[in-house]
Structure 1
């Protein structure tokens, strides 16, 4: 009787695990060390460059995260409690082009120089990092991180490469950084960083359809 009960319980557990796995997004089952590779072939089909520029310029009253969400494919999400960083991608622009388009559509509070093929734009509630994909130079990544995600997870030494520490402390209203050394976040690489060692990855999806769609 006990043996039959154990077998029955085991079957139920297996069914529950299989059901959970089936509901996960494309990136949700990646282990702590497994990489997310983003190449040109991984990026969903986009509108042409002119259409994207027109869409951005015609919705300048929207927040930068809504503009990016509505016009670029979402490839990955890294979250920590209620804070997150969303990773978008495009094949239509190089870094200089997209930086010019975004800053024209929505002027940032602060704009860094381009260093190591990446640039950071600071907005009221978001940090936008533009960088080439490490897997494919034809792909430009856009990382949109809430300012609280940045404060809690980013390495101050990484950010100080782009901005003075006094400016960063003023941006956050304090110098109370959540991560000062060790396994701090230094921008998206797809190499498996998870805040506090807890994986919480989102799937790939191109939302489109205007600012705020898909939220």
Structure 2
């Protein structure tokens, strides 16, 4: 009987191991859920040549920054939250300084930040244009058009260090102490937005891009 019991135990173990192995093969999401899951861009949107982009900006009759960006650059993604939204445009044909200069010369912003670590910010009435060199795609410039509501309620103030003084941010966002209060909340609660990342799902909470291309905000900085 002792020999039979040993055989039964071995058979049961083999069944359990086999079930787990074949069960995981039938479920592509196994082991891929949670904050470590990464979406990928199989293909970026098509983009006109550099000369066509420059000509589009130069000839544009846009009266708003949103219209100028949507007329001149491909839309990569959108980010929707209960407290504001942003749209992500892109270019591979212009450098970050070229992109900022072309936009600024066409529609003058209220404020222009310093350029630091591949980032720069142009501030318009009720909207921020946040330019970043993509960390995932060399040569790709991300152009985020974010409502001031989105910046006020989602962004981590530390993202703007080296770019804009907190006193200026407070003034542009209509608050006397937004930066300090927001920074304290980000540190205590986490989940603050730290700029768009193409693959999302890291340390910035549950923000996700709303397009089918798989984008989403990235880590706080």
TM-score, normalised relative to structure 1: 0.70
Shifted more, 186-195 versus 77-86: the winner is 186-195
Matched, 1:116 2:117: yes
1:197 Cα shift? 2.9
- The 1-side partners of 2:196 and 2:206 are apart by 15
- Please name the residue that 2:150 is paired with: 149
Equivalences for 1:26-41 in 2 at 5 Å?
Answer: 33-37=36-40
1:188 Cα shift? 1.0
TM-superposition CA deviations, 1:124-171 (whole Å, max 9, x none) = 121111111111212111111111000001111222431111111111
Gaps of 5+ in 1: 1-29, 205-215
Matched, 1:54 2:63: no
Does the CA-based 8 Å contact 1:43-1:73 persist in structure 2?
Answer: no
Gaps of 5+ in 2: 1-32, 214-221
- The 2-side partners of 1:101 and 1:35 are apart by 33
Does the CA-based 8 Å contact 2:87-2:146 persist in structure 1?
Answer: yes
Q: Bigger radius of gyration, 1 or 2?
A: 2
Equivalences for 1:1-215 in 2 at 5 Å?
Answer: 33-37=36-40, 42-81=43-82, 83-174=84-175, 175-176=177-178, 179-180=182-183, 181=186, 182-190=190-198, 191-192=200-201, 197=206, 199=208, 201-204=210-213
Shifted more, 55-64 versus 104-113: the winner is 55-64
Does the CA-based 8 Å contact 2:134-2:141 persist in structure 1?
Answer: yes
* Number of equivalent positions: 173
- The 2-side partners of 1:36 and 1:91 are apart by 21
Shifted more, 43-52 versus 145-154: the winner is 43-52
1:91 Cα shift? 1.3
Does the CA-based 8 Å contact 2:193-2:205 persist in structure 1?
Answer: no
Quick one: structure 1 residues 184 and 161, their matched pair in 2 at CA, closer, same or farther if it must change by over 3 Å? farther
Greater RCO (CA < 8 Å, at least 6 residues apart): 1
TM-score, normalised relative to structure 2: 0.68
